[in-house]
A and B are shown apart, each in its own frame.
Chain A
Amino acid sequence: MANSSTAHGDNYLNHSHGLKSWLFTLDHKRIGLMYLFVILAMFLMGGVFALLVRWELFAPGMQFFSSPNTYNQAFTYHGAIMVFMVVIPLIPAAIGNFVLPMQIGAKDVAFPRWNLVSYYVYLFGLIVAASTLFINKVDTGWTFYAPYSIRTGTSATLVLLGAFIMGFSSILTGLNFIVSIHKLRAPGLTWDRLPLFLWALYATSIVQVLATPVLAITLLLLILERTIGIGIFDPKLGGDPVLFQHFFWFYSHPAVYIMVLPAMGVISDIIPTFSRKPIFGYKAIAAATFGIALVAFVVWGHHMFVSGQSEFANFVFSFLTMLVAVPTGVKVFSWLATMYKGSLRMDTPMLYAFGFLFVFTIGGLTGVFLAVVSVDVHLTATYFVVAHFHYVMVGGTLLAFLAGLHYWFPKFCGKMYNEGTSKVAAWLIMVGFNVTFFPQFILGVLGMPRRYADYLPQFEQLNRISTIGSWFLGVGFVIVAWNLAKALKYGEKSGPNPWGALTLEWQTPSPPPHENFLKEPVVTEGPYEYRGEKALMGSNA
């Protein structure tokens, strides 16, 4: 193509043409973008459910939904869509798929066919689960707690099956990433030169590979419970519903780290680049990543402090949960130390990274509150918990995703978005987010329970503020979408390396050629060796 932004003309977007060349592609970059497209569509869907839930809570009594039961369905879909279809695959499957092979200097992931299979498996699971919207809906909450999930007359079986199928996709992506990082690194890219985004994806992949099969068997047993009544979880048949909670959280707690570790990886790449300084504590951050992944597997019991677990177990899980704060703190302080005396450039990715630091720290610290059994007994199943995990998942993962999206966007398409507009959107999202969720901390402490369509009159003021915040949040996302869509068509050429970053994906044209690099890269130093230089624009070291 004559108007291509690369010197040699051929890139992964114009390498082949037509719908088929996308649907059957084995190119990790195209698969990553296809993931991104579907995930963002699901994000829109989950977001609409969220806005409806907030609308319902604008005032006491029923506002939007015809009955409390339809409200239950709405928050179930919001939760299930956001957790299983959006936040888990968001950074690894979409951004990771695009960036990982390039950061290791490879032509593709280790198993390109399985990569495509994982995409279609995800799509298939998604269709199976989402089809229930047109059948009998589902109202169990995203946690599918037995025995209600066994008894409910809704199409819970299909949603469980969909989540089961999507698990295979998650496992395949994790497996592919682990092998790629082990076997396909460019010459000179030793383990201690690996960008921290890759360390994060590597640890995430290990958690995905180890935890997801346990969810698979849990969901399978629950499906069998619903269809033939195997009695393992059903108290009516002599089974143990708390066993379901153990099984479920053995996956779903590590899943929180599947969501947040890649987010931390994005932040670790962005902060040194926009501070023009080597990262502080490279090894400490890499080790902390694995520390978090390890502890992730032994804290699931903190979801069951009020489920009749023994007091000794409560004590152990409480202690282990507080331990998570140590490696997390190591990371936060390393990022701050990286910025100290750096030449900071507040471009959009860095703005989101600041937002991440601010809200994620609140999310993390409230997690320590909830780890204290005596506090948790009071706060369990209140809006405090809702606020806490939204500060982690939205404030942590989603803001880091937006940081990464704006950081790698020029690499995806070779175009630059409007910086002014994207900053306005970033501020709207930051302010909207805090206005939405901060009041929920207070509501929780005051005793407002989660998952009810109605509430007592004294909670009205704070709920109203929260709902108004959700509108700002929604408008912020619409502006991001509009700004990036506009940039795809009208954006100025970004050049290969608009941020002057040192990792390998920036040392090749944007958009990258079909096989990523014009010649195989050789690595001679670490990924963040910025030597106090002033911020660069459009240069390519």
Chain B
Amino acid sequence: MAHGTGAVSHLERHHAHHFKNGHEEFEACKQGMWIFLVTEVLFFSGMFVAYAVLRVFYPDMMHDVHHHKILDWRMGALNTVVLITSSWTMARAVSSSQRGEHKNTVGFLWATLLLAGVFLVVKYFEYSHKIHEHILPGAQYAYEGLTTAKVPIFMSVYFVMTGIHGLHVVIGMGIIYYLIRRANRNEFGPKYFTPVEITGLYWHFVDLVWIYLFPLLYLVG
């Protein structure tokens, strides 16, 4: 079987047996990732609809949430900067792997991984503050400072959306770490950089979701 992807340097690597050549394999993988990202958009769209329904039905509640600074926009802004920077380091990792710049590939992948970690640490502080204050989703909500009706449902939407987004960040970190290990074995180069490229697509998507979440949840009142 020519499926093996073990410790094979990029110069010797063969494409999987059912593809005609490496280019066809690259195109197929890339299209596959794009279609997967479409499913991701639709997965998140359910939550965006729930959010839109809340906004349209209860504008006053949304105003109260904003007015009482339930969400700290500075934390959200910090994380936005962190994620956008990580998208840049990811893009650099992709272009380095295409040019066969081995050290840069590994370095930028590590930088991306690190920034993803920073994002999660900031998120951790936000979550623990809310848990401490009992600003929790739905039936768990017990915050004395804001008792407007439907605020608990807004918190549900906040936790579900950011939670699932956070899960995507964690999964992305796992994949990036896997890429680092493969890059260390010198598997990527001008002839084979598919995994780095399609992970890049995924990572930009995760970034993009946050770019919608930040203004919708933190900024709009």
Residues of B with C-beta under 8 A to A210: 38-39, 42
Residues of B with C-beta under 8 A to A238: 149-150, 152-153
Residue of B nearest to A216 (CB): B43
Q: Does B216 contact A (CB under 8 A)?
A: no
A-B contact count (CB 8 A): 117
- Nearest CB of chain A from residue B16's CB, rounded to whole Å: 8
Residues of A with C-beta under 8 A to B11: none
Which positions 131-186 of chain B face chain A at CB distance < 8 Å? 137-140, 149-150, 152-153, 156-157, 159-160
Tell me if B40 and A213 are in contact (CB < 8 A).
yes
CA distance A224 to B153 in the complex (A): 12
Residues of B with C-beta under 8 A to A179: 28, 31-32, 35
Tell me if A231 and B39 are in contact (CB < 8 A).
no
Which positions 17-67 of chain B face chain A at CB distance < 8 Å? 17-19, 24, 27-29, 31-32, 35-36, 38-47, 49-50, 53
Binary contact track A87-109/B, C-beta < 8 Å → 1, others 0:
00000000000000000001111
CA distance A108 to B20 in the complex (A): 12
- Nearest CB of chain A from residue B37's CB, rounded to whole Å: 11
Tell me if B31 and A232 are in contact (CB < 8 A).
no
Tell me if B39 and A221 are in contact (CB < 8 A).
no
Tell me if B50 and A183 are in contact (CB < 8 A).
no
Tell me if B28 and A224 are in contact (CB < 8 A).
no
Q: Which of B3, B16, B40, B41 has the most CB of A within 10 A?
A: B16
Of the candidates B1, B27, B39, B137, which one forms a contact with A213 in the assembled complex, judged by CB atoms under 8 Å apart? B39
Tell me if B139 and A228 are in contact (CB < 8 A).
yes
Tell me if B140 and A229 are in contact (CB < 8 A).
yes
Are A214 and B157 CB-contacts (below 8 A) given A26-B3, A111-B32, A238-B152?
Answer: no
Are A171 and B39 CB-contacts (below 8 A) given A231-B138, A238-B153?
Answer: yes
Tell me if B47 and A240 are in contact (CB < 8 A).
no
Q: Which of B31, B44, B138, B150 has the most CB of A within 10 A?
A: B138
Q: Does A128 contact B (CB under 8 A)?
A: no
Are A230 and B138 CB-contacts (below 8 A) given A213-B39, A237-B152?
Answer: yes
Binary contact track A234-247/B, C-beta < 8 Å → 1, others 0:
10011110010001
Of the candidates B28, B40, B150, which one forms a contact with A110 in the assembled complex, judged by CB atoms under 8 Å apart? B28
Which positions 398-425 of chain A face chain B at CB distance < 8 Å? none
CA distance A211 to B46 in the complex (A): 11
Tell me if A229 and B39 are in contact (CB < 8 A).
no
Residue of B nearest to A174 (CB): B35
Residues of A with C-beta under 8 A to B43: 213-214, 216-217
CA distance A292 to B210 in the complex (A): 34
Q: Which of A176, A211, A225, A230 has the most CB of B within 10 A?
A: A230
Are A212 and B39 CB-contacts (below 8 A) given A26-B3, A183-B24?
Answer: yes
Q: Which of A26, A225, A231, A234 has the most CB of B within 10 A?
A: A231
CA distance A217 to B164 in the complex (A): 10
Residues of B with C-beta under 8 A to A217: 43-47
Of the candidates A178, A183, A214, A224, which one forms a contact with B42 in the assembled complex, judged by CB atoms under 8 Å apart? A214
Tell me if A228 and B140 are in contact (CB < 8 A).
yes
CA distance A220 to B152 in the complex (A): 18
Tell me if A231 and B42 are in contact (CB < 8 A).
no
- Other A-B pairs beyond A214-B42, A231-B138, A515-B17, 5, CB < 8 Å: A112-B3, A112-B16, A210-B38, A224-B137, A243-B50
B-binding residues in A (CB < 8 A): 26, 106-113, 171, 175-176, 178-179, 182-184, 209-214, 216-218, 220-221, 224-225, 228-232, 234, 237-240, 243, 247, 515
Q: List 17 A-B contacts (CB under 8 A).
A: A107-B18, A176-B32, A210-B39, A213-B39, A213-B40, A213-B46, A221-B46, A221-B47, A228-B137, A228-B139, A230-B138, A230-B159, A232-B156, A237-B138, A238-B150, A238-B153, A239-B153
A-binding residues in B (CB < 8 A): 1, 3, 16-19, 24, 27-29, 31-32, 35-36, 38-47, 49-50, 53, 137-140, 149-150, 152-153, 156-157, 159-160
